[in-house]
Amino acid sequence: MSTVGEMIRKRRKILNFTQQELAGRLNISSQAVSKWENDVALPDLGLMPRLAQVLETTVDGLLGYQGAPLSKYDERYQREEFYWGLNPNQLCYDLMKLKPPARPYRVLEIGCGEGKDAVFLARCGYRVRAFDESQAGIDKAMLLAEKNGVHVDFFRANALDYHIEETYDIIYSSGFFDYIPDNMKEEFTAMLKKSTVAGGLNVLNAFVDKPFMKKKEGQQRTPWKSGELFTCYYDWLIHRCDEVIFDCNSGGVPHQHCMDVLIAQKQ
């Protein structure tokens, strides 16, 4: 497990702060930061919440406490290569056709993984906020944004207890929707609809349950019923509602998935 000093150094590097800049934000001397990072001293307890905020993490994270064990995504995202590759999802191009970035439209991405779609949209001129529950994914996404010379407001959050405060021109999510438990699906889509400005888009996909698909043991995913996602948007203008079945070879075992794809616009 990393020491507190190592965690501080790691977060500071990811955010591209010098020791002096970090010290400035905390109103302390850069020598104090240097002592922490070399494990010569620990930050005062009272300073920890502010330090965690400035380093865009949690006090638990700084103390190396991970709570639940690493998720399968954390493990995947900790590898050097990009698990989902670097090519943006086709849905990004679809949304651009409907709302080209003539203005810096505000986009929220939910379950952004390693950030490939968020970074692509930011490169195209959208103003993007994106989150995922995997810290490893967010760390990698931040580095990807930096490498591409764009700013994306990446942060770690659990979508199931995250309340969207602001409104957005576009809410986008790919591959996350079947992590929403059945009893939250309606409430969750209602929140997205409420958090979208008039004329704005929701661009979403969701895995759908089919009899020919075998459930994996202990699977946490709760696929949607065929067409269920579309019905949540009965009162919006539907630009796309497709149900697609496609082959997949993840895990080295050929199998199929079924996915509902929705692009809807608030009237």
How far is Cα 126 from Cα 120, in angstroms, rounded to an integer? 9
Interface region with ligand SAM, contact rule CB under 6 A, candidates 30-38, 98-106, 156-164, 256-264: 156-164
Least Cα distance to 62 among 45, 76, 40, 79 occurs for 45
Site string for ligand SAM, 95-114 (x = CB under 6 A): ----------------xxx-
Least separation, in Å, of the C-beta of 221 and ligand SAM?
9
Assigned token pair, 57 = 């993490």
Binds ligand SAM by CB under 6 A, chosen from 5, 43, 88, 137 = 137
Least separation, in Å, of the C-beta of 243 and ligand SAM?
18
Q: Are 151 and 122 in contact (CB under 8 A)?
A: yes
Rank residues 174 and 196 by Cβ distance to ligand SAM and give the closer one.
174
Rank residues 111 and 223 by Cβ distance to ligand SAM and give the closer one.
111
Rank residues 36 and 176 by Cβ distance to ligand SAM and give the closer one.
176
Whether the CA torsion 103, 108, 224, 193 is positive or negative: it is: negative
β-bridge pairing 196-207 and 255-265: antiparallel
Identity at 100, one-letter amino acid code: P
Rank residues 34 and 222 by Cβ distance to ligand SAM and give the closer one.
222
